[in-house]
Structure 1
Amino acid sequence: MNKPSQAKVLLSRVARRKVKTNQRLLEVARQLFSEKGIYWAKVEDITEAADLGKGTFYKYFDSKETIIRVLLEEGLGELLLRTEQAVKDASSDAKVLAAVIGARVDFFLAYPDYLFIFHQIRGLMQLQVDAAKGLREVYDNHLRRLAQLIRPAMGSGGVADVRDLASAIAAYTSGLLTYHVLFEGHEAVKRRRDYFVRVLERSLRSLLKTGNGSRNLA
């Protein structure tokens, strides 16, 4: 078997170093955005906490807005993976809604940083509509896939109803958890995990019965 050339070994090391640096910047940014807020945390704060030069940041991300979008894509991507698995594991269509809610609650309890970052990004999309266009596209793609996953729980509901329910699931879950984590603390909310899943499922099933969409909740 031929040994890898020195150039290939060096390239492999460089590639690994780049991946490691990219991940380090994302991890630090996620923590700082959660602690200080996406409005107040600066690129300088990220590079200082990561022990990297400011120029290094711009080799990986064009701006603070770019790293916010990447974090949003990564977070929502992981959330969808967990949701997809929960739907596969659901024993019947009637269990899909509870499975989806449970997956979202578990995600935010496992990654509380994302709970606060997503909350801030939704505010950013309202305050800076033009600048946040890319973020809105990421959210729209997420809701479109979530709507596909919850379709079995809708019965005879139409496409618009499915999208409304997906939006309501996203809003209700993160909104309720954000409030309680802020005022009760993360550990207290973790201990009441099943309670929050039941409350959310009951609220969303009431929404299904009345036929009110999330457009009325905005």
Structure 2
Amino acid sequence: MPAEDGGRLARKRRQTRAQLLEAAYRVMSEQGIDASKIKDITDLADVGFGTFYNYFESKDQLASMVLDCLINDFGRRSVEATRGLGRRDPALVIPVSIRLMLTTVIADPLWQWWALRPDLLLDRMRKGFGPFGMRDMREAVRRGICQLSEDQIPLTWDLAVWVMVGGIHDVVVGDRPPGTEKEIAAAIMRLMGVEPERALQISSTKLPAYPAPDIDWMFTLETHPAKADASPA
């Protein structure tokens, strides 16, 4: 019985945490992160105000955990959107995934808060998208699309995330116009060793439909890393 009670309590804690995350996303999407109040979030989640601090140290930490869930969802959606591209042109998988994500987040006011905190955004994107991005890089190496050794892939991935975060930040603050997603994707492909003309060509194709969001609010980056075991081929 104690083990069963412990399991029930753990499930209840996961459910309450998920309720708070989903409520935070809804409140922050409507009001913006800075203007959002913890009480509005707990009211929407139907939990006591004091309960919030059993799960999160601050509103900023909560916003970071919301970001983790969104990144995980973007990774899953990109896998679905690029499924089948491997048969058409496997070189399209990475630039299409990058452009789908960038096009979506740059148009989302909620991401402006994260874009103005590039250190935070870099850390969460590097970790959250890592299993997806490095899986795709390894597949690109296997197919001869780019020339990277295994020990170069983690560093190349880190640099690719820097480019993505910098691009998001620059568009949000007005240093670059919206619509530069193709150039950002092409720059990343060049980092991977793709010739400039080919990099721009595969970064300029028509984008496929992006599956609708289906966010897993139970997701936690620290204890439940994103998985990218589905093949895009």
TM-score class, shorter-chain normalisation, is 0.5 to 0.7
1:150, CA displacement in angstroms? 5.1
How far apart are the structure 1 equivalents of 2:97 and 2:122? 22
Q: Provide, for residues 162-190 of structure 1, a one-character-per-residue CA deviation record: whole Å limited to 9, x for no partner.
A: 655555556768998xxxxxxxxxxxxxx
Residue 20 of structure 2: which of 7, 25, 41 is its match? 25
Percent of pairs identical after alignment?
20
Whichever of the two has the greater Rg, that structure is 1
More helix by share: 1
The answer for the alignment partner of 2:123 in structure 1 is 137
Is 1:104 aligned to 2:101, yes or no? yes
Q: Provide, for residues 32-53 of structure 1, a one-character-per-residue CA deviation record: whole Å limited to 9, x for no partner.
A: 1111111111212211222321
* C-alpha spacing 1:118/1:145, structure 2 compared with 1 (3 Å): farther
Q: Is the 8 A contact 2:78 2:97 kept in 1?
A: yes
The answer for the alignment partner of 1:122 in structure 2 is 115
How far apart are the structure 1 equivalents of 2:169 and 2:83? 23
1:87, CA displacement in angstroms? 5.2
TM-score (norm 1): 0.58
Q: How does 1:22-171 map to 2 (within 5 A)?
A: 22-84=17-79, 86=81, 89=84, 90-91=86-87, 92-97=89-94, 99-101=96-98, 104=101, 108=104, 115-123=108-116, 125=117, 132=120, 135-142=121-128, 144-145=130-131, 147-149=133-135, 151=137, 152=140, 155-156=146-147, 167-168=162-163
* C-alpha spacing 1:137/1:165, structure 2 compared with 1 (3 Å): closer
Q: Is the 8 A contact 1:105 1:173 kept in 2?
A: yes
How far apart are the structure 1 equivalents of 2:41 and 2:93? 39
- SS at 1:39 equivalent: coil
Q: Provide, for residues 95-131 of structure 1, a one-character-per-residue CA deviation record: whole Å limited to 9, x for no partner.
A: 324541475379x4xxx8x9433332111x15xx6xx
Instruction: Please report the RMSD computed on the Cα atoms of aligned residues, expressed in angstroms.
Output: 4.2
Amino acid at match of 2:93: V
Q: Is the 8 A contact 1:143 1:167 kept in 2?
A: no
Higher relative contact order by CA 8 Å / sep ≥ 6: 1 or 2? 2
* C-alpha spacing 1:67/1:174, structure 2 compared with 1 (3 Å): same
The answer for the alignment partner of 1:186 in structure 2 is none
In structure 1, list runs of 5 or more residues that go unmatched. 177-195, 213-218
How far apart are the structure 1 equivalents of 2:3 and 2:158? 48
The answer for the alignment partner of 1:13 in structure 2 is 8
In structure 2, list runs of 5 or more residues that go unmatched. 172-178, 191-195, 201-233
Query: How many residues are paired up?
Result: 176
Q: Provide, for residues 9-28 of structure 1, a one-character-per-residue CA deviation record: whole Å limited to 9, x for no partner.
A: 44443333222211110000
Q: Is the 8 A contact 1:100 1:150 kept in 2?
A: no
* C-alpha spacing 1:85/1:174, structure 2 compared with 1 (3 Å): farther
Q: Is the 8 A contact 2:115 2:165 kept in 1?
A: no
Amino acid at match of 2:62: I
Q: Is the 8 A contact 1:26 1:71 kept in 2?
A: yes
* C-alpha spacing 1:40/1:88, structure 2 compared with 1 (3 Å): same
TM-score (norm 2): 0.55
